[in-house]
Structure 1
Amino acid sequence: MAAAATLLTAASLAVAPPAAAEDSFSGQCEYPNATYPGRPWYLQRVQLDELWSESRGKGVRVAVIDTGVDVKNPQLKNAVDVKSGRNFLPKGLKDENGDPIDRGNENGTTDTVGHGTKVAGIIAARPAAGTGFVGLAPEATIIPIQQNDAEGHGDTDTLTNSINYAAQAGADVINISQDTAGAVEPDPKLEAAVKEALAQEIVVVASAGNDGLGGNTKKTYPASYEGVLAVAASDRNNERASFSQSGDFVDVAAPGVDIISTVPQGGHCADNGTSFSAPYVAGLAALIKAEHPTWSRRQIVAQIEQTAERTIAGHDRLVGWGVVDPVRALTEDDRPIESPRPDEGLTSAEAPAAAKLPLGETADERNARLATYVAVGAAVLVAGLGGTAVAIRDARRRPRTAGVRRNHTAM
């Protein structure tokens, strides 16, 4: 049997500095941290009232397979199904000094890294006073599944077990914000677990990876598996973030730069990475699932891809089908589709049509009108010629007076 591959969380990167309003929430994050007072940039671009008038994700269960989800953050307390949580980290772990490592709670609600707590917040954080941050699907339910930690003890075995459990726990959507180290294709049992989840009509969302700076286009796993919705990161300009992995396996992109989210024990921090793009899409999938509970997972994925913002027809290796547009995905949903249509969803300028003159007359009336124009025109011409002749005659009869200036009054 092949050895289990090591898994890496698609963690934070040193990229362009965040805006001034986010300076105190970037860099090294403490737990707990301050509360972010404003609305993060990536939520400002979404008409949340319009979005939530369609769906808020109620009743949809999203499994977050990560480093755990800390429910001490007030915005996550009521968003997490604690009873369904699990911890798949190996038992008897020891650090480099041989001392035992605390695995945390068996229900997956311990997160010493903060990664899983951020992911969960992007999906389903509840509204709270004093902050404009909120999850995209604020009525969805998180299933916390802990299978990785700060030391990277997660591997394909723990991830396989986590995916199998998520399906058993009734997940409608599974979010996986991690990939194998070095883009190594893992043991086939991981792919088998993914296939089984897909067969159960679960939407599986995975981050594309953060090794794109050098033009790396290697496939990452599990994002590259057929049927998995692979998510790249976009920046504030709706372009691929410089670190985001690219390749034919990328399906869509979502905000992944200067992303504000919840952290353990309370408060917020900013972070970067495809790790935080994936849950944005997972939250969108939850909204669509709640709005259309009978749609298949393929139809949900196709809806996300079809309504994404793109500048070219078809698929792009950098951002896939484009940067996801939550409002379009929830409002342009008259009928389900099985796959995105390359030539639809794009707008192009059209040459203006010549304006029509509504005359409201028959052919006979038009002929009579034109005849009238001709007759009137001839009369005007005759009158004009007659007037000119009279003027010439009078000029010839006028006496000529020498030495008199014009406008001079005679004495």
Structure 2
Amino acid sequence: MLASGLTLPAAAPAAAAASTQCNFPSEPYKGRPWSLQRVLLNELWRGTGQGAGVKVAVIDTGVDVEHEQLKDAVDPSLGKNLLPKKPKKDEYGRAQPRGKADGTTDTVGHGTKVAGIIAARPADDTGFVGLAPKATIIPIKQNDANGSGTAESLARAIDYAVKVHADVINISQDTAEALKPDSVLKAAVNRALAQDVVVVASAGNDGLGGNVKETYPASFPGVLAVASSDRNNERAPFSQSGEFVDVAAPGVDMISTVPKGGHCADNGTSFSAPYVAGVAALLRAKHNSGDDRWTQRNIVAQIEQTAERSVAGHDRLVGWGVVDPVRALTEDDERIEQPVAKEGLTSGKKPEPAKLVLGETEQERNERLATYVLVGGGTSVAVVIGTSLICRDWRRRRGAAASGR
């Protein structure tokens, strides 16, 4: 059994201070966060029931149910606490409290933020709302601030999510340790995919300086690996790069719910992944019956295909592009199995070099002849006019001589 430690992607340096200063509870965020301002929510939700009937498993540090926007979004009866009886201690010998058995204790706040981005209900005192505000959150507590989670406990969490019929699984944690092809974590991911579950995972926050490496479970085939983008739809500096990245989503200054009430801002791919998981939940709600039932592969391909990209195909920074929630839900007339590179900048044909002409070019010759014609025409007119004047004067003089003047 491989015992790989799992990390909860920490806040990027720019937001570290804000993250550590967040208190539980905190003040509500009055406005509409930038990541939602770019989305026409009414259009996004049309025909989706806002995700009603879809269950999203949040495998994380637990999800707090005291928050007004989450108390009706979370189903504690389906929750689970998979932390060991004796959680890992920090460097000072302190252990995080294990919390309730149903996964609704979150002393870190990480899982509560993730859940809010997916399914927070509307509230009068804030413009923040989840992308799928009628979806149901399954809280699965599998990690804590001391990194008590392992590849094995994450595998058990995935299996549990499948057991309770999750439609989407969000995993905002990773390990950069190499995992064997037959690792328990990969086997659990494969079982989830085989049961038609959409698995979304964060790419990681170790991308500063152009660092490229694979992280798990994001790198496993079939997992929708999500990087972070900024307000300009470019890769956030901290976001992990690699060929395994499938798409990017907002991950800078992300507002979300915190334990006991209120909101805080944070940075990281941890909060990009649930943004995509919310879109996946809406797609599952919209295309989930009869002949119109989409598989997890259809949903992943749709999100990739409709992403906003600057190159025609895939790149290692933002994958197929930055997720466009409205486009994913409105340009969905046909189901697809894989994205096709057909948009963005393409390399055009090289211009043909101009022919080298020695001496006078054809254009120059034509211009010269035209000048000759113009000058010659002018000269002819002048000659005619001059001749006319001479003839007139001659006739006048002749007439005068004949009359004896």
TM-score bracket for this pair, using the shorter chain length? 0.7 to 0.9
Asked if the contact 2:96/2:144 (under 8 Å) is kept, the reply is: no
Q: 1:272 maps to which residue? A: 267
For residues 277 and 121 of structure 2, the distance between their equivalents in structure 1, rounded to whole angstroms, comes to 16
Displacement, 1:11? Answer: 2.2
The change in CA–CA distance for 1:99 and 1:49 in structure 2 (over 3 A counts) is: closer
Which one is further off, 291-300 or 99-108?
Answer: 99-108
- Aligned residue for 1:192, secondary structure, equals helix
- Aligned residue for 2:225, secondary structure, equals strand
Asked if the contact 2:11/2:19 (under 8 Å) is kept, the reply is: no
- Alpha-carbon RMSD across the aligned residues, in angstroms, is 2.6
For 2:105, the aligned partner's letter is T
For residues 241 and 210 of structure 1, the distance between their equivalents in structure 2, rounded to whole angstroms, comes to 9
Q: 1:136 maps to which residue? A: 131
Task: Give deviations 1:348-393, integer Å, cap 9, x for gaps.
Answer: 9x9xxxxxxxxxxxxxxxxxxxxxxxxxxxxxxxxxxxxxxxxx99
Displacement, 1:95? Answer: 3.7
For residues 268 and 243 of structure 2, the distance between their equivalents in structure 1, rounded to whole angstroms, comes to 19
Asked if the contact 2:200/2:276 (under 8 Å) is kept, the reply is: yes
Q: 1:255 maps to which residue? A: 250
Task: Give deviations 1:264-311, integer Å, cap 9, x for gaps.
Answer: 000000000000000000000000000111100000000000000001
Q: 1:340 maps to which residue? A: 339
List, as ranges, runs of 4+ consecutive aligned residues in structure 1 with deviation greater than 2 Å.
92-102, 182-187, 345-348
Normalised TM-score (structure 2): 0.81
For residues 281 and 56 of structure 2, the distance between their equivalents in structure 1, rounded to whole angstroms, comes to 7
Q: What is the count of residue pairs matched by the alignment?
A: 350
Which of 35, 39, 47 pairs up with 1:54? Answer: 47
The change in CA–CA distance for 1:153 and 1:26 in structure 2 (over 3 A counts) is: closer
Q: 2:377 maps to which residue? A: none
Displacement, 1:94? Answer: 6.4
Displacement, 1:92? Answer: 2.8
For residues 286-365 of structure 1, what are the structure 2 equivalents within 5 Å?
286-293=281-288, 294-343=293-342, 345-346=343-344
Aligned-residue identity in percent: 67
Asked if the contact 2:73/2:121 (under 8 Å) is kept, the reply is: yes
For residues 5-16 of structure 1, what are the structure 2 equivalents within 5 Å?
5-15=4-14
For 2:112, the aligned partner's letter is T
Q: 1:399 maps to which residue? A: none
For residues 173 and 19 of structure 2, the distance between their equivalents in structure 1, rounded to whole angstroms, comes to 21
Asked if the contact 2:255/2:264 (under 8 Å) is kept, the reply is: yes
Asked if the contact 2:310/2:345 (under 8 Å) is kept, the reply is: no
Normalised TM-score (structure 1): 0.80
Structure 1: where are the runs of 5+ without partners?
A: 18-22, 351-391, 397-411
For residues 205-244 of structure 1, what are the structure 2 equivalents within 5 Å?
205-244=200-239
Displacement, 1:27? Answer: 5.0
Asked if the contact 1:183/1:218 (under 8 Å) is kept, the reply is: no
For residues 330 and 248 of structure 1, the distance between their equivalents in structure 2, rounded to whole angstroms, comes to 26
For residues 98 and 256 of structure 1, the distance between their equivalents in structure 2, rounded to whole angstroms, comes to 33
For 1:74, the aligned partner's letter is E
The change in CA–CA distance for 1:94 and 1:149 in structure 2 (over 3 A counts) is: closer
Task: Give deviations 1:302-326, integer Å, cap 9, x for gaps.
Answer: 0000000001111011000000000
For 1:57, the aligned partner's letter is G
Task: Give deviations 1:115-140, integer Å, cap 9, x for gaps.
Answer: 00000000000000010000000011
Residue 77, structure 1, aligned to residue 76, structure 2 = no
